[in-house]
Amino acid sequence: MKERGILTVVSGFAGSGKGTLMRELTSRYDNYALSVSATTRDPRPGEKEGREYFFKSTEEFKEMIETDAFIEYAQYVNHYYGTPREYVEAQLMDGKDVILEIEIQGALQVKKKFPETLLLFVTPPSAEILKKRLVGRGTETMPVIEARLSRAAEEAEGIGAYDYLIINDQIEECVNMMHHIIRNEHMRASRNIDFINKMKEGLRSLSKGE
């Protein structure tokens, strides 16, 4: 039997660089599976069913909610977004470390349902650097940037519920750190009860000269 994978939720401020981090992590190591969300919004040009999202009608989505087919879901503006349970379960059973990139509300839902979930929060080294990165993109006006910072301030209230901070200063270091955190999580005593029990039994019988 394969060792079950670790379910990891990654959240972070807009501008924290978590998208780049995830791409690097999953392209370098083959133990990861990125979860694909379901949504009721329309596909945008270039988006592909099952790659960016599973596209569902509102009726389909609501039926999935009723049959408990989501690990977590939320409604933003007029659309639903959710993480289908089936894919995640299948990958975990196959020994893959599954990564969900979701926001804090969803992260807390997942942790409540699956307390063994690892919660990681990606943050720049300081608020000033976050602002600098948002300004540096040159794609948003100052009021929009201030709205994003205000939203980040709200999100920051929830960081304490996460297991680890990933302070995104150097991308290289950051990818390594995230990889090691997830890999080491496999070595938690609480995730190795079978190993411990086998060791106990083995020691008991060997100590009797069996």
Interface residues toward a copy of itself, by CB under 8 A: 121, 123, 126-128, 130-131, 142, 146-147, 149-150, 152-153, 156-157, 159-167, 177, 180-181, 183-184, 187-190, 192-193, 195-196, 198-209
43 versus 125: smaller Cβ distance to a copy of itself: 125
Query: What torsion, rounded to 10 degrees, do the Cα atoms 131, 133, 138, 140 define?
Result: -50
Sequence-distant (≥ 6) Cβ neighbours of residue 48 within 8 angstroms: none
Angle at the Cα of 124 from the Cα atoms of 123 and 126, rounded to 5 degrees:
115
69 versus 181: smaller Cβ distance to a copy of itself: 181
75 versus 170: smaller Cβ distance to a copy of itself: 170
Nearest approach, Cβ of 60 to a copy of itself (angstroms)?
37
CA nearest to 7, candidates 145, 104, 79, 113: 113
Per the DSSP assignment, residues forming a β-bridge with 134 are: none
Nearest approach, Cβ of 105 to a copy of itself (angstroms)?
17
Whole-Å CA distances, 96 to 80, 82, 137, 156, 179: 27, 20, 34, 30, 13
The answer to whether residues 178 and 120 touch, using CB atoms and an 8 Å cutoff, is yes
Nearest approach, Cβ of 58 to a copy of itself (angstroms)?
34
Cα 100 from chain centroid? 3
38 versus 174: smaller Cβ distance to a copy of itself: 174
73 versus 121: smaller Cβ distance to a copy of itself: 121
23 versus 132: smaller Cβ distance to a copy of itself: 132
Strands 97-101 and 32-34 come out as parallel
User: Which single residue is written with the structure tokens 């690097």?
Assistant: 24
Nearest approach, Cβ of 167 to a copy of itself (angstroms)?
7
Nearest approach, Cβ of 67 to a copy of itself (angstroms)?
34
Nearest approach, Cβ of 54 to a copy of itself (angstroms)?
31
